[in-house]
Homo-oligomer: A and B are copies of this chain.
């Protein structure tokens, strides 16, 4: 596939992102039934955050997933449900402030119950997004670590963003060596990751080499470093996506990206398994393809929304342009 031509080593090549997106997007076939285009679950939503998990989950649906779930705390659930009847929201997570009177044994029981409720669903999911609006409560993060471990045991891909990256940066073994994990750090999250994993500060003179080393050091986990150009690497090579984009930096765009990458990663896996063994696509890491397509789609939608709303553009405006952007990219060739 021409779309994924690139240089290995330190240099990077702009990915033919639109071609990647077109190649991995499944055809809409009347014989397919509900669920086959993707079942995504977002783990996030706590006392403080409800918008982020909603943005990630609704974006997955707008791109073409069939079902989108959110696992969050009870208080967050009521609000997230009320944003949209399209989502399935599970109020199962707990935060310390809510169980402050409970002793250690009680907490272990609560943790077990959370895990068993999640287990009932996990095998159905094609990809998890861990982190949007997750918060940093220690008890909650401990439960989410266990959820990630279970997902990994079942080979369910995991896209990690936001507070999920805080968790993973401090417990890198959660994703280390897992080829179906994707990290999508912004500038600050990337800085912490480099400090923790490589033990040094970010070196702007060696952007590509550093990203390659970081990915390799975490066992070839795919990293999407968000920026003016998005840089993507699984430790083998670095690719960039620079097309489109907007100069508006309103919060929430990273949540659209994580939900998008989840869907495209699943589609790339489907495509990968359907493709002939010798084709380029079967040799290309689906996590990398998912990042390239997700990055291109968000950048296109952000550009279109900005054309209409300028400085006033919000994340919901960008989400409203996901469908049109997908269509525009799909039709152009």
Contacts and interface: CB of A to CB of B under 8 A. Distances in A.
Interface in A230-269: 245, 247-253
The count of identical subunits is: 2
Contacts of A187: 33
Given A31-B228, A84-B316, A85-B315, 12 more contacts: A47-B91, A48-B88, A48-B90, A51-B84, A64-B312, A66-B251, A75-B78, A79-B81, A83-B85, A311-B323, A312-B326, A313-B323
B86 A311 contact: no
Nearest to A31: B228
A32 B247 contact: yes
Contact of A249 (B34, B52, B316, B327): B34
B312 A62 contact: yes
B48 A248 contact: no
Given A28-B247, A33-B187, A312-B323, A83 B82 contact: yes
A87 B51 contact: yes
A33 B78 CA distance: 32
A89 interface: yes
Assign chain A's interface to a size class: 35 or more
A199 interface: no
A37 interface: yes
Interface in A209-223: none
A116 interface: no
Nearest to A32: B249
Contacts of A49: 88
A328 B87 CA distance: 30
A12 interface: no
A301 to B, nearest CB: 11
B228 A54 contact: no
Nearest to A248: B28
Contact of A66 (B31, B33, B250, B322): B250
A289 to B, nearest CB: 18
A61 B314 contact: yes
A63 B312 CA distance: 6
A138 interface: no
A51 B29 CA distance: 26
A5 interface: no
A108 interface: no
Contact of A35 (B31, B79, B249): B249
Interface string A28-57: 111111111100000000011111101100
